[in-house]
Amino acid sequence: MSANNYLVCIMFMASYCTAQTKEISSSFKSVKTNEIIFEKSSFEEIKAKAKREKKLVFINIYNKACIPCREMEKNVFTNTRVADYYNPSFINASYDYDGKEGQEISEIYQVQCFPNYLFMNGDGKIVFRRVGAMGPEDFVKLAETAADPKQWLSYYEEEYPKKKSDPEFLLKYLRVLDKASCMNLVNFFPIESEMEQFKKRDSLLKGYFALQTDEMLISNANWNVIKEFTYDYKSREFSYLLKNAAAYKKLYTADSVSIKIKDVLINSRGLFCFNKGYTEANETAYINEVKKLNSLEAEPAVFWLTLDCYKGSKKWQNYIGLVDESGDKYILSSQEKESVSKVIYENIHDNASLLKAEQMMKTAAEKDPSWLVYETYANVLYEENKKSEAKSIALKALETAKQIGAKPKNYESVNYLLEKIEKLKTP
């Protein structure tokens, strides 16, 4: 797997309200609009205009295939309060990543995920950036933050030499870096263009924990810092967490501690393999590193890392063998059952494996009756040639998708599945 040009469409999690038209102020006071006015000029002309008007430039970089980007365009950029703030405050522009100018800007500013928001001065210097979809209220807060020089990355860079022994400052600096980065939003999958920033982040986090004694690491404040920032299995704070997991579980929830340990160990694979390459040998070497930790807390991560390694190398017999051997212990959530069952029906077609997938999807659907779970369940039943059951579950997927207001395009695959089910010839 290549780390270059790793493009991520960040998951859209917010709900939005409907915009209503009203008159806005400032230089746009004669224009009635309920949406951000994006300039149609060239990038150079936009920067020149920002200089003349002494404003910052706001640039949205999107990708046509990115669903969150389309949702932002439809529900946030058309929100009245958003328009009221952005139109008088910034020179606004929006570029398609696949367009000529969009590609040029993305190369200059190392845009690696979408939607990506750049705030810059008239000279084209980035003062603030963020990634990811959000609702109208948060998008206005984003603009307010971007307009505050004390929130700019340059401010933290300048203040760092004076405040590098201030834990609170270091945490604020870390948050500024993380919210502008794609790596944090893709579970620290290494992105080459962000490695310098990642090294800076790593240095800040080490600086913060250097100010904390071992006894302080188990405090509520530091547990929250570990949850938010720690993704290196070799770090001092993670080693302490792993060694004292029982104590953390007594103070905090057992699930949150176990999940954090598993996440760190799984996500550290990307950092381990980044320079070595994502080969079966290197992934196996990392799994052996995790095993050397000799901790019961690491066992769930070893299971998932091994399962994923078998999937990547297409060792399907090993994959289903591990599922049969340890799946009941480690494949617990509906999302995990759906993910594994999808691998089985797409790649492993023997009756025993499909029956295992059917059993997992039955319990997943009982716990999480969502249309995506129903769709995977129906696909498993289709592969088993169970026409009536597959049709019944596929119709549930269709009904559930419509109930939550999903767009027809998003559940086209369900309609296609129903067509395939109708053509099944049962014995």
Report residue 51 as tokens.
């200089």
User: Is residue 194 a contact partner of residue 140, using CB atoms and an 8 Å limit?
Assistant: no
Using only the alpha carbons of the chain, give its radius of gyration.
25
pLDDT at residue 4, as a whole number: 40
DSSP string, 106-134: HHHHT--EESEEEEE-TT--EEEEEES--
Integer Cα distance of 366 and 358 in angstroms: 12
pLDDT at residue 276, as a whole number: 82
pLDDT at residue 412, as a whole number: 92
List domains and CATH numbers for the chain.
8-147 (3.40.30.10), 331-427 (1.25.40.10)
What is the mean pLDDT for each group of 10 consecutive residues in the chain (427 residues)? Answer: 41 33 35 81 95 97 88 92 96 95 92 91 93 93 94 92 97 89 56 71 95 97 96 95 97 95 92 83 95 95 96 96 97 95 96 97 96 96 97 96 84 94 87
pLDDT at residue 72, as a whole number: 93
User: Is residue 89 a contact partner of residue 33, using CB atoms and an 8 Å limit?
Assistant: no
pLDDT at residue 194, as a whole number: 61
DSSP string, 200-265: HHHHHHHHHHHTS-GGGGGSHHHHHHHHHH---TTSHHHHHHHHTHHHHHHHS-HHHHHHHHHHHH
**What pTM did the predictor assign?**
0.77
The phi and psi torsions of 120 (rounded to 5 degrees) equal -140, 165
Helices (H), 313-386: 316-330, 334-347, 351-367, 371-383
pLDDT at residue 190, as a whole number: 54
Report residue 111 as tokens.
């845009």
